[in-house]
Amino acid sequence: MQEMINRAKELLSDGTVNRVLGWRRGDMSYNPEPSYFETAEDLDANFVYNGFCGANLSKYMIEGSKLEGKTLVFLKPCDSYSFNQLIAEHRVDRDKAYIIGVGCMGKLSFEKIKEQGVKGITNITIDDANENITVETLYGEKTLAYKDCMLERCHVCKGKEHQIFDETIGESRDTKDADRFAEVEKIEAMSPEEKFAFFQNELSRCIRCNACRNVCPACSCRKCVFDSTKFDSAQKANVDSFEERMFHIIRAFHVAGRCTDCGECSRVCPQGIPLHLFNRKFIKDIDEFYGEFQAGVDPEAKSPLTSFTFNDVEPGVTGGRR
Amino acid sequence: MSDTCHCHDNYVKDVLIPQVGVITDIREETPDVKTFRVNAPEGGKLFEHMPGQCAMLCAPGVSEGMFSITSSPTNKEYQEFSIKKCGQLTDYLHSLEVGDEITVRGPYGNHFPVEDKLKGKNLLFIAGGIGLAPLRSVINYVLDNRSDYGTVDILYGSRSKDDLVQLKEIQDVWMKTEGVNVYLTIDREQEGWDGHVGFVPAYLKELGFDTNKTALLCGPPIMIKFCLASLIEMGFSKEQVYTTLELRMKCGIGKCGRCNIGSKYVCKDGPVFRCDEIDELPNEY
Amino acid sequence: MFKIAKSKLPELLKAIAAQQELFLPVNNNGQVNFAAWFEGCNADIETLKTVKSPKDMFFPQSETLYTVKKEQHKLSVEPQALADQNFVAFGMKACDIQGIKVLDKVFLAEPVDTFYRARREHGTIVALACHEPEESCFCKVFGVDCAEPDADVVMWNANDTLYWKAVTDKGTALTEALSGVLENADAADEKAVETEQENIRAIVEKLPYTNLSLEGWNGNVTEEKFNSPVWEKLYKPCLACGTCTFVCPTCQCYDIKDYDTGHGIQRYRCWDSCMYSDFTMMAHGNNRTSQMQRFRQRFMHKLVYFPANNDGMYSCVGCGRCVEKCPSSLNIVKVIKAFEKEAANHE
């Protein structure tokens, strides 16, 4: 972290960048927030980077690209896919960003920590090897395995490599210990009735807070169709099961082929809905129908859903998968 | 279950539940403003109101919106709304015909203080465009209770002569009433117009009214801003000037939160504000 | 006072449900929210905070107000029937009850919201003292005592026992109807409750936010706070979602919209959020065009405007849901602290 602060101060003072986009220390161990820094003093006092900095800063660079001068942005390996995809969609300006790829040891989930019976957290310390976290609480101390507290997305990590950067700082760790499509396959194996029941149960909790949409780097429309006052199908109410039937599915269709599987939707859902499953199903299908494709690897690459080749599967064919 | 409680047998119907109103007359005022006359289906008025108050008109399935009641409370037969075509709901309302029904709830908001603070005062009405709608209610109320008020001056301006709302009433009634002075102006020269040409705030200064008046000001925000500046320059104090604010409203009863600025709800605590009261609000209108 | 062994909770719930409709915290795939009881439901009274506050028992996320039928030119309006069945809200916490008191100030003020009033009149609140308060809790800052909630019935959860005290007539009526399952408590039980209360209050003193200061928020501070440069710095991480609004026990802004059922137009109201860009949008403009303005509005309303209209009552109850749920880790505590810091810098 100190290396990041030092480098940020250098780049600020030599005028390479006008500001730094990173994470600001919270008032609890677990709640740093995405934030801009403009002075060395502010960086020294408040900049933080640790296991709780899960927020993907790529989306903030849409606004960041409109600011005067360059912004230094810290991107974790998985965040860098989103940045590339936003370049492909002309939503961020590469020349306005100075990208430092930062290492990642896997990011922690407050929910996962709480699920392990932790209450009244007063402090959390992460050991140097990122093997364990020690949680001090009002009701005693507990040591938890780092791995058991990680976000779902880290268990299916796309890898330690940054897809775009000007320089890198810090080491990453391979945290992948599960198959990315295992959950999707489980659902595919369900009968239609079981599938419907599964999603209905999960989506019945949706409160239409739009956190998934607003955090999503692929949801970068200036004005969302669901925010139109002229569009009257329950833009914010949970009425007539719209949430269960339509909203998330429409969103998944809209980001299909562009979603990098950054997992932010599931991280921010206040109701713990595994929203990434929709997107991952599309990714799996795209891989099977059109050959393996990972959005955000190459900003010049053509998305399989917006380009045609003679090898493409016929629309509507779901039987003869490759 | 049949043994339901009776604890709200005496409840009044919720204020959010509208009445049905039938359109009994439509006047085309200008190319984009129509005045709709609304009655209860069984005849008569839907409710009583005070000058400056508003009502929520709804075309079910389209939208609902707040409109000021342009007719005077002294009119015992109907209510009128002058509506400018500027969006989904107003487009729809403009497509309606006599005999069509809409839903109406209200009246909502406060009103111009015709019963106390304005009584006995010399009144100066300043309106621009569709901004005449709320003031017309006051003007006709004042004319119908002529002895309660002092002099009446009406300054009304619009983009062109075709955009002057209620021109017939202005010419046939207001201009012919004793002790009432009407000054009309349009923004640009136009064939067939031999009246004053120029913006309202400039004309206001040109006319240079005596400060022994209370001003009632309504129109586009930019006109309000410059007219207020003109008035201050002429020696008026903000306590002498009333105007109306317009924000998005949904409930009309100060609960849904949309029109909240500072500790005020424009739908309930407004729309009528004295200009010194507006100064106390955060600058968000 | 009465009591019942915690192991008999299912029997207690069944007995209540036999009397009245029952809503209680239910765990659905790891997420606990208030929901209607059913036989075999996964009732969870141990999780301190439900994801959503229980406000939707009184002010549902969406509800039909009336239906309009159209025949040729003729319209007819059919108001939605008011709630007319008694129900029990089981397991509400002290902060959430304070939240209902805030909603009362809005919906029971003239003109009364009859839909809300009907639910309030038909609801019996069975509160549960907070056995183990958590770090995000700061109800004490708003004068709430989570060891002694203000409700029709209060329960304490200690020693594998639920202690039950009826407080109001409604609470007594419910208690009498449950005489078959509740046992009489004795002096030792009274003592156990006192001990539990002492334990709770001792923990509350140690909570990190308990001494949060509201100094500088009361009185006529609209202009000073509204124009502060702090907002411009604070709002930046805000994603403009409605999470804070929708999990909040006091947020009550709503929208009124149409739903075409195919055989009539249902006019319904639903929760809305001042954080949404279309909240104040009109046909000819928007008076809050930036997210900074919308962000500021939410906190100014809770900490300045609402108290100004309601004898100093804040419309935050310190439940801490926004602390736990904001995707960007922004919350009202950070806002209050930022202003405190700003004030200190000026001295």
3-state SS class at A70: coil
**CA dihedral (B274, B277, B278, B284) positive or negative:** negative
CB atoms closer than 10 angstroms to residue B120: 10
User: For residue B215, which of B177, B238, B241 has the smallest C-alpha distance?
Assistant: B241
Tokens of B105: 């709830």
Note whether C188 and C238 are same-domain residues: no
Residue A236 has pLDDT above 80, yes or no: no
HEC-encoded secondary structure of C109-131: CCCCCHHHHHHHHHEEEEEECCC
- End-to-end alpha carbon distance in chain C: 53
Tens of pLDDT, residues C19-52? 999 999 999 999 999 999 999 999 999 999 999 9
> Is B18 in Cβ contact with C66 (below 8 Å)?
yes
Extended strands (E) in A83-220: 97-102, 121-126, 132-137, 140-145, 167-169
Residue C199 lies in a domain: yes
Residue C67 lies in a domain: no
Tens of pLDDT, residues C146-189? 999 999 999 999 999 999 999 999 999 999 999 999 999 999 99
Residue C100 lies in a domain: yes
3-state SS class at B219: coil
Tokens of B119: 């009584």
Residue C50 lies in a domain: yes
Q: What's the rounded Cα separation, in Å, for the pair B148 and A115?
A: 73
Cβ-Cβ contacts under 8 Å between B and C: the total is: 135
Q: Report the CATH architecture of B19-108.
A: Beta Barrel (2.40)
Domain definitions of chain B by residue range: 19-108, 122-244
User: For residue C93, which of C24, C163, C191 has the smallest C-alpha distance?
Assistant: C24
How remote is the C-alpha of B159 from its chain's centroid? Answer: 19
Tokens of C226: 């509204």
Tens of pLDDT, residues A123-154? 999 998 899 999 999 999 999 999 999 999 99
Residues 6+ apart with CB under 8 A from A230: B88
**CA dihedral (B257, C291, C325, C31) positive or negative:** positive
Residue of C nearest to A240 (CA): C259
Q: What's the rounded Cα separation, in Å, for the pair B154 and B185?
A: 11
**Claim: this prediction has a pTM higher than 0.80:** yes
- End-to-end alpha carbon distance in chain B: 50
Q: Residues A28-43: what's their mean pLDDT?
A: 96
B51, B137 Cβ separation under 8 angstroms: yes
**Which residue among C156, C177, C206 closes a domain?**
C206
Largest CA distance in chain B: 75
Residues 6+ apart with CB under 8 A from C257: A232, A234, A237, C267, C268, C269, C270
Is C82 within 8 Å of chain B by CB? yes
Is residue B54 a known part of a binding site? Answer: no
Question: Cis omega (within 30 of 0) on the bond before C111?
Answer: yes
Tens of pLDDT, residues A91-113? 999 999 999 999 999 999 999 99
Note whether C164 and C140 are same-domain residues: yes
Confidence of residue A317 (pLDDT cuts 50, 70, 90): low
Residue C109 lies in a domain: yes
Q: Chains with ≥3 Cβ pairs under 8 A against C?
A: A, B
**What's residue C218's pLDDT?**
82
Does CATH number 3.40.190.10 belong to domain B122-244?
no
Q: Residues A61-83: what's their mean pLDDT?
A: 97
**Nearest chain B CA: its distance from C187 CA (Å):** 39
User: Measured between CB atoms, which of C77, C86, C280 is closest to B258?
Assistant: C280
Checking DSSP bridges between strand C153-158 and strand C123-128, what pairing results, if any?
parallel
User: Measured between CB atoms, which of B13, B86, B251 is closest to C79?
Assistant: B13
Q: What's the rounded Cα separation, in Å, for the pair B2 and B257?
A: 38
What are φ and ψ of residue B25, in 5° steps? Answer: -160, 145
Number of domains in chain C: 2
Name the average pLDDT for chain C. Answer: 93
Q: What's the rounded Cα separation, in Å, for the pair C95 and C149?
A: 8
Note whether C121 and C178 are same-domain residues: yes
- End-to-end alpha carbon distance in chain A: 45
User: Measured between CB atoms, which of C74, C111, C282 is closest to B101?
Assistant: C74
Note whether C191 and C298 are same-domain residues: no
Q: What's the rounded Cα separation, in Å, for the pair C112 and B264?
A: 18
DSSP string, A120-132: SEEEEEE-TTSSE
Note whether C128 and C231 are same-domain residues: no
User: B172: buried, middle or exposed (CB in 10 Å: 19+, 13-18, 0-12)?
Assistant: exposed
3-state SS class at C282: strand
What share of chain C has pLDDT > 70, as a percent? 98
3-state SS class at A135: strand
User: For residue C216, which of C308, C339, C314, C345 has the smallest C-alpha distance?
Assistant: C339
C256, C62 Cβ separation under 8 angstroms: no
Q: Which residue has the tokens 């002057």?
A: B164
Tens of pLDDT, residues B200-210? 999 999 998 89
Residue C314 lies in a domain: yes
**Which residue among C206, C230, C257 closes a domain?**
C206
Tokens of B76: 């015992």
Same topology, domains B19-108 and B122-244? Answer is: no
B35, B166 Cβ separation under 8 angstroms: yes
Note whether C41 and C131 are same-domain residues: yes
Q: State which residues form the domain around C237.
A: 222-248+275-346
Q: What's the rounded Cα separation, in Å, for the pair A215 and C247?
A: 18
CB atoms closer than 10 angstroms to residue A65: 17
Note whether C181 and C115 are same-domain residues: yes
> Is C293 in Cβ contact with B284 (below 8 Å)?
yes
3-state SS class at C76: strand
Residue of C nearest to A268 (CA): C327
**Which residue among C175, C206, C237 closes a domain?**
C206
Q: Residues C203-225: what's their mean pLDDT?
A: 91
Q: How far is CA B107 from CA B25, B56, B138, in A?
A: 20, 8, 15
> Is A55 in Cβ contact with C328 (below 8 Å)?
yes
User: For residue B263, which of C105, C201, A24, C257 has the smallest C-alpha distance?
Assistant: C105
User: For residue C217, which of C288, C139, C315 has the smallest C-alpha distance?
Assistant: C315
**Nearest chain C CA: its distance from A36 CA (Å):** 8
Residue of C nearest to A38 (CA): C233
Note whether C87 and C141 are same-domain residues: yes
**What's residue A230's pLDDT?**
64
Q: Residues C307-336: what's their mean pLDDT?
A: 95
Tokens of B55: 């009502």
**What's residue B1's pLDDT?**
39
Note whether C184 and C295 are same-domain residues: no
**What's residue A319's pLDDT?**
52
Q: How far is CA A143 from CA A60, B79, B174, C75, in A?
A: 34, 73, 84, 66
In a structure prediction context, what are the per-residue pLDDT tens digits for chain B, which is 285 residues long?
345 555 555 556 788 999 999 999 999 999 999 999 999 999 999 999 999 999 999 999 888 999 999 999 999 999 999 999 988 899 999 999 999 999 999 999 999 999 999 999 999 999 999 999 999 999 999 999 999 999 999 999 999 999 999 888 989 999 998 889 999 999 999 999 999 999 999 999 999 889 999 999 999 889 999 999 999 999 999 999 999 987 777 888 899 988 888 888 888 998 999 999 988 888 877
Q: Which chain C residues in 211-250 lie under 8 Å from chain A, judged by CB atoms?
A: 236-237, 239-243, 245-247
3-state SS class at C66: strand
